Structure 1
């Protein structure tokens, strides 16, 4: 009966790990199951890892209900501003009209001047509102990613590619498109704000979002 070679007289395996359930060289240790072929590696929070990126879960696309609520709140803010400016303008025009003496020869001229002054003030109010609207929407979305209305309902406007703040360039494009649409009695603006309903990408991007490369997400 042979007991093996002189260097191994008892016939034991050369590698003591073989045959006792130990992993061989190049094999995974026995702590868990090996990854099944064809299954993508898992990223953060259990989501499939996309091309080696293990980041947080995909953001939630903002619902149209929240977006509508944000617009209502922002509209209420502008309504208050417009109301204050309108009251100031009307009060000034009425005050000038009261200063016109009905018995004076130039009474009609005085009233006409008061009316012209009111029209000029009304035009100035519209101009001030346009500037406020530009600065409010453009700067807040570009630099903060949110207006007061969006803050109230938990929405953010982000760069659709990076997820960061849009920046002033994208924010301006996003603002100017519905603003130009408002020239046609507001119909174009309404269509722009309704356009996310027709987006098939799953991001619910409006025409202004697609042009600017932005999207709206919620907390």
Structure 2
């Protein structure tokens, strides 16, 4: 007799739950709840081919499967909302959103300092033009600020510095993610970046996509930056928008 639909320990991966629709295993999965949150979800099912065999009768027993009673994950076949994941499918905890924000601020400061050093001549030109504007405003010129924006020397220096800032940001982010799995800010707070389903450092493609859909788009369109920062607060996997293209997540170091 087939077991009723519900969340059961995944026979192919003991660190997660998989939805049994009453006849077969589906693609819907969730991280297993922490110890003490429900029955033992790590028992051996004894199934050699989980794709075609049903779970055993849903009652406790040696080697048997026990459904996760009172599951907060809902029924995916009915479109019920699912709980937010606490860990990746292999059990690595997802990163704290507060620490991620602090890491982001640290990275922003470091990138700004490096870009300022690299483009110091451009910064000096911008400050010289701003000093002239300040002097004009002090002398009673009401159009001093407008003239600053129209000053070809200031606009050229400002545009060039923006390119320097983006180049530094790209190298800083892509290289550290690819070779170390974390930017210095994330490493400082015990965070790293990985694929949702697979451990290990991000690939070149994932690292580049993450920068393109984060720093570059944020520089071009500031409302996107705000939405990107807020997105993890309601996303099921705590992914920001810049995590979506490459399927990455931020996790805590083991």
TM-score normalized with structure 2 length: 0.52
Alignment partner of 1:138 is 2:164: no
Are the equivalent residues in 2 in contact too, given 1:85–1:125 (CA < 8 A)?
no
Which of the residues 234, 248, 251 maps onto 1:198?
Answer: 234
Counterpart in 1 of 2:208?
172
Counterpart in 1 of 2:101?
68
Question: Structure 2 CA distance, aligned partners of 1:92 and 1:180?
Answer: 27
- Once the two structures are superposed, residues 122-170 of structure 1 have per-residue CA deviations (whole angstroms, 9 ceiling, x without a partner) of 3221111111111111221122211110111111001222111111101
* Number of aligned positions between the proteins: 150
Where does 1:152-191 land on structure 2 (aligned, <5 Å)?
Answer: 152-178=188-214, 179-184=216-221, 186-191=222-227
Greater helix share, structure number:
1
Greater strand share, structure number:
2
Deviation at residue 181 of structure 1 after TM alignment: 4.1
Structure 2 residue runs of 5 or longer lacking an equivalent are: 1-60, 67-89, 132-150
Which of the residues 186, 211, 215 maps onto 2:245?
Answer: 211
Alignment partner of 1:123 is 2:155: no
Structure 1 window deviating more from structure 2 (71-80 vs 83-92): it is 83-92
Question: Structure 2 CA distance, aligned partners of 1:132 and 1:87?
Answer: 13
Question: Structure 2 CA distance, aligned partners of 1:139 and 1:86?
Answer: 20
Are the equivalent residues in 2 in contact too, given 1:192–1:207 (CA < 8 A)?
yes
Where does 1:77-96 land on structure 2 (aligned, <5 Å)?
Answer: 77-84=110-117, 88-91=121-124, 94=128
Structure 1 residue runs of 5 or longer lacking an equivalent are: 1-34, 41-56, 98-114
Deviation at residue 172 of structure 1 after TM alignment: 1.3
Q: Which has the larger radius of gyration?
A: 1
Are the equivalent residues in 2 in contact too, given 1:59–1:218 (CA < 8 A)?
yes
Give the 3-state SS of the residue equivalent to 2:217 in structure 1: helix
Question: Structure 1 CA distance, aligned partners of 2:160 and 2:95?
Answer: 36
Cα gap change, 1:37 to 1:161, in 2 (>3 Å): closer
Give the 3-state SS of the residue equivalent to 1:60 in structure 2: coil
Cα gap change, 1:91 to 1:197, in 2 (>3 Å): closer
Are the equivalent residues in 2 in contact too, given 1:134–1:175 (CA < 8 A)?
yes
Are the equivalent residues in 2 in contact too, given 1:140–1:146 (CA < 8 A)?
yes
Are the equivalent residues in 1 in contact too, given 2:232–2:239 (CA < 8 A)?
yes
Deviation at residue 119 of structure 1 after TM alignment: 3.4
Give the 3-state SS of the residue equivalent to 1:163 in structure 2: coil
Where does 1:109-120 land on structure 2 (aligned, <5 Å)?
Answer: 116-120=152-156
Cα gap change, 1:92 to 1:174, in 2 (>3 Å): closer
